[in-house]
Chain A
């Protein structure tokens, strides 16, 4: 009996590790940008291409940056959640229209609703690289001083809004 104790203990430890491993999502790469200043940008506005907006224009408020594209299927899934969040008027949502065609993007917003205060056009995806974007959609919470406080990779769900985004926004505003 005693002979089996050691292999059994090893098995339990291995199963423990494997169990934890199953729950981890390898797609979620922790961002090194959290707690750092949001990278600077100066980008044209989707609906007013002549106008450019930079990150310094957005300082002094807590805001969300949502990276989206009309070609992104998961963005459709997430979109109603953002529309609902925008309706509550708790926090302004700015869109980063990532590697998209502006006409497609506008048509997409017309079809599904536009939760964004404005969408900024990152046609070549350069700003996306600065923000460490690797899988659209991604969402950032940025505080008054322009520091990134939270990043959600993948679609924002009602649970994310309830458990992460809203409490954090409240805390940052308070």
Chain B
């Protein structure tokens, strides 16, 4: 009983200490200027981490991402605009660093592709529906043509048929 209680206490102590410990390890000097930090984070969500390529700079904890965030922070402090900072990074890492690729001749397909596919799909749908409606209308109008009628009759009248 006593050992169980001790274990419980130890668990409680650990769980109380763990988040504190994590905070101590992770807390960079954020609080200095929340507005600055908000801008760094906002800009970082627009930028791609080049190491773990499906993450933004804001999400990534790769060392390069931390360095690049520091660069962004320094440059904001130095009074540079968002465009200037983005230019700084694209000059070094190319358009790939942008999470939202710019519209250019090389990226037209990327941007327009989904819409082209959507239009093609819609066009296909409309055509199919129209064709089907026409076929149904023809049927309703008794529009089975004479030749087909003749063939059906021949089949029905066939002597020795299964029926």
Residues of A in contact with B (beta carbons under 8 Å apart): 26-27, 29-33, 99, 124-125, 129-132, 134-135
Closest B residue to A30 using CB positions: B94
Closest A residue to B91 using CB positions: A32
- The number of residue pairs between A and B whose CB atoms lie closer than 8 Å in the complex comes to 38
- Tally of B interface residues using CB under 8 Å: 15
Decide yes or no: A33 and B50 within 8 Å by CB, A99-B63, A129-B67 being known contacts. no
Q: Give the chain B neighbours of A130 by CB distance below 8 A.
A: 92
CA distance A99 to B67 in the complex (A): 11
Decide yes or no: A134 and B64 within 8 Å by CB, A26-B53, A29-B50, A129-B71 being known contacts. yes
Within 8 A of A (CB), among B26-71: 50-51, 53, 63-64, 67-68, 71
Residues of B in contact with A (beta carbons under 8 Å apart): 50-51, 53, 63-64, 67-68, 71, 90-96
- Chain A at the B interface: SS class: loop
CA distance A33 to B90 in the complex (A): 10
Contact yes or no, A125 B93, CB < 8 A: no
8 cross-chain pairs, A with B, having the tightest CB-CB distances, nearest first: A134-B50, A132-B92, A32-B94, A29-B96, A132-B93, A125-B67, A134-B64, A30-B94
CB-contact partner of B51 in A33, A125, A131, A134, under 8 A: A134
Contact yes or no, B93 A29, CB < 8 A: yes
